Chain A
């Protein structure tokens, strides 16, 4: 939201999700860079229209799941086979491979546990969301029914303003 020294950000407010989506496409077609879009709900196709790279959160989730699986294998191997093997119900702990079927539920649960929780932590950290953080939107209407597009100014300011007006913006300001 904060404008850097080099760039001036022009903010255009919209009152419809379809209009803002079209505006993003129009503005980008004219060669402007869309700095940010705030919306009260996810707009389908907005990330592609803005040219955002796909998120790699699910790849991270897969790796976290593998870490959970590995943890469960190491844990059951250490605790049940090497550290204190016991003969439980006439079923001695011979080797991890032979006992493995009994560990499947634990392996599954820990895979899910690691994948889910670490993904959520990653989500909070990447988005800089934490309890008590200042609101990232400075206009309270943006969680209600208004949509804000921030465009980096390039060249003539009048031209950009006109373009934004034409695209359906209801308010235009400079940040």
Chain B
């Protein structure tokens, strides 16, 4: 029943029992934070506070505090929005798509990847919110009856589709994550000694007890939610890309955008998962669960999606030439050789060239190298959005209105602030939530644990 081909590498290293998994997953919650955690948390908190200051300044003074001008009316805000949404995609991909494909290696990493999804969508949602100027009127993006008629939202607009897509994505990811967390919170609750902690985890665990019928429903629910989340995650970045693709700006108006954006999203998301997990496994000594094999698998995904993105870039260039539209041709020539050439070539280097190192097993199993590449990829993917957005806008149809964009300190501050906010949330999560889906992981111990696999090899199937 627990048979797995001996050629497959173990996913749980060492002679672990179910109890060992419980203890090791609960340890970060039950022990004091390491010094490095406090250091990282303080740094993230400072960035976050700086970001809040810049957001309040924007709301108080208006969008004029940003570096926008009448030609480049969309710049860092939408770049950051798309970047953060894209990062979120890998979490859903790991938890939903890999569940549908029955990939067991997802189990050690899905909890943190989903946490990353939720925290990064929070960052993304900030940007359209503050770009509205009057944040307190944000509810106007939803179809509420109002005193103007009612005047309804425009269901033909991709920006409204985006509202629905992001809201659905965020809320569905959140409940998907929470359903999986409940049995693990119950485990923490049952171990807690401190009465305050016990009470908090009692509330969080919803009273879960692990009855057979409940597990049956749990598994069915997880499967169906995964089935729903898979097309959902593809729809979200498709719709984000339609914000651009349905407009008539050269460089945006292309049908390749949806698959191209989705591949880019998965690419950047896996890079961020890689960054975060390398920190988590080191900080909490989770090397036996988040193994070198997990890192290698993710590097392969990064290599694959990076290459897809590369093909998309080249296809875009080809289509610009092949379309025969001189505006389209100029937009791409300007990207590669115009005043923003450095952004374009940074993007190309980081996204297309750097993942190709992962063809070499030595490099993709090297932790330091992986960490560096994961950061490089995220920088590259930020540049990709910047290139698409700013270089397509800054030289429009009328040469007299051509201009450049330079960010103000507020633009930079808000972006750094979201990075701070993201890490504040993630670091708090690693100390209060079980960072590994331990209930799920226990189901594969006998088939994929190193000890059991060795037993099986020595004594045959039992």
Which residues of A are at the interface with B, using a C-beta cutoff of 8 A? Answer: 17-18, 36-47, 50, 52, 54-55, 57-58, 61, 75-76, 79-80, 83-84, 86, 88-89, 91, 99, 102-103, 105-106, 108-110, 112-113, 115-117, 119-120, 123-124, 126-137, 140-145
CA distance A105 to B203 in the complex (A): 36
By a CB distance below 8 angstroms, the chain B residues around A126 are 217
B143 at the interface (CB under 8 A from A): yes
Determine which of B164, B220, B442 lies in contact with A40 in the assembled complex, contact meaning CB atoms within 8 Å: B442
Q: Is the CB of A43 within 8 A of B215?
A: yes
Determine which of A61, A83, A103, A137 lies in contact with B190 in the assembled complex, contact meaning CB atoms within 8 Å: A137
CA distance A41 to B443 in the complex (A): 7
CA distance A108 to B446 in the complex (A): 40
Q: Is the CB of A46 within 8 A of B212?
A: yes
7 interchain residue pairs of minimum CB distance: A136-B209, A133-B207, A140-B190, A145-B18, A137-B209, A129-B206, A105-B161
Q: Is the CB of A135 within 8 A of B216?
A: no
By a CB distance below 8 angstroms, the chain A residues around B439 are 40-42
Q: Is the CB of B22 within 8 A of A57?
A: no
Q: Is the CB of B164 within 8 A of A38?
A: no
Determine which of A55, A99, A112, A142 lies in contact with B210 in the assembled complex, contact meaning CB atoms within 8 Å: A142
Smallest Cβ-Cβ distance to B219: which chain A residue = A42
By a CB distance below 8 angstroms, the chain A residues around B186 are 135, 137, 143
Determine which of B160, B221, B232 lies in contact with A57 in the assembled complex, contact meaning CB atoms within 8 Å: B221
CA distance A43 to B444 in the complex (A): 11
Q: Is the CB of B202 within 8 A of A132?
A: yes
Could you list 25 examples of A-B contacts with CB < 8 Å?
Answer: A39-B210, A42-B439, A42-B443, A46-B216, A47-B216, A52-B212, A55-B220, A57-B217, A84-B149, A112-B232, A113-B164, A113-B167, A113-B172, A116-B175, A116-B176, A128-B207, A129-B214, A135-B186, A135-B207, A136-B210, A137-B210, A140-B190, A143-B183, A143-B186, A144-B22
By a CB distance below 8 angstroms, the chain A residues around B223 are 58
Q: Is the CB of A52 within 8 A of B442?
A: no
Determine which of A46, A135, A144 lies in contact with B209 in the assembled complex, contact meaning CB atoms within 8 Å: A135
By a CB distance below 8 angstroms, the chain B residues around A61 are 224, 228
List 4 extra interface pairs beyond A127-B213, A135-B189, CB under 8 A. Answer: A43-B212, A80-B155, A127-B214, A137-B190
With A106-B161, A128-B207, A143-B186 known to touch, is A116 a contact of B225 (CB < 8 Å)?
A: yes
**What distance in Å separates the Cβ of B336 from its nearest Cβ neighbour in chain A?**
32
B208 at the interface (CB under 8 A from A): yes
By a CB distance below 8 angstroms, the chain A residues around B168 are 109-110, 112-113, 116
Q: Is the CB of B210 within 8 A of A106?
A: no
Binary interface profile of B, 142-184, with partner A (CB < 8 Å = 1, else 0)? Answer: 0100000111111111101100110110011001100100110
With A110-B164, A116-B228, A129-B208 known to touch, is A52 a contact of B216 (CB < 8 Å)?
A: yes
By a CB distance below 8 angstroms, the chain B residues around A79 are 143, 152-153, 155
By a CB distance below 8 angstroms, the chain B residues around A54 are 216
Binary interface profile of B, 82-118, with partner A (CB < 8 Å = 1, else 0)? Answer: 0000000000000000000000000000000000000
By a CB distance below 8 angstroms, the chain B residues around A17 are 446
Q: Is the CB of B191 within 8 A of A55?
A: no
B80 at the interface (CB under 8 A from A): no
Smallest Cβ-Cβ distance to B186: which chain A residue = A143
CA distance A115 to B172 in the complex (A): 10
With A79-B143, A88-B154 known to touch, is A117 a contact of B211 (CB < 8 Å)?
A: no
Q: Is the CB of A50 within 8 A of B212?
A: yes
CA distance A82 to B175 in the complex (A): 35
Which residues of B are at the interface with A, using a C-beta cutoff of 8 A? Answer: 1-2, 17-19, 22, 143, 149-158, 160-161, 164-165, 167-168, 171-172, 175-176, 179, 182-183, 186-187, 189-191, 202-221, 223-225, 228-229, 231-232, 235, 239, 242, 439-440, 442-443, 446
With A58-B224, A123-B217, A127-B217 known to touch, is A136 a contact of B171 (CB < 8 Å)?
A: no
Q: Is the CB of A91 within 8 A of B19?
A: no
With A38-B210, A108-B235, A144-B187 known to touch, is A75 a contact of B172 (CB < 8 Å)?
A: no
CA distance A75 to B161 in the complex (A): 14
By a CB distance below 8 angstroms, the chain B residues around A129 are 182, 206-208, 214
By a CB distance below 8 angstroms, the chain B residues around A18 are 1-2, 446
By a CB distance below 8 angstroms, the chain A residues around B156 are 80, 88-89, 91, 99, 102
By a CB distance below 8 angstroms, the chain A residues around B203 are 131-132
By a CB distance below 8 angstroms, the chain A residues around B22 are 40, 143-145
By a CB distance below 8 angstroms, the chain B residues around A106 are 155, 160-161, 164
Smallest Cβ-Cβ distance to A56: which chain B residue = B220
With A44-B1, A105-B165, A127-B214 known to touch, is A112 a contact of B224 (CB < 8 Å)?
A: no
Q: Is the CB of B221 within 8 A of A44?
A: no
With A52-B212, A55-B217, A88-B154 known to touch, is A135 a contact of B165 (CB < 8 Å)?
A: no
By a CB distance below 8 angstroms, the chain B residues around A103 are 155
**What distance in Å separates the Cβ of B462 from its nearest Cβ neighbour in chain A?**
9
Q: Is the CB of B1 within 8 A of A145?
A: no
**What distance in Å separates the Cβ of A103 from its nearest Cβ neighbour in chain B?**
6
CA distance A41 to B152 in the complex (A): 48
Q: Is the CB of B224 within 8 A of A119?
A: yes
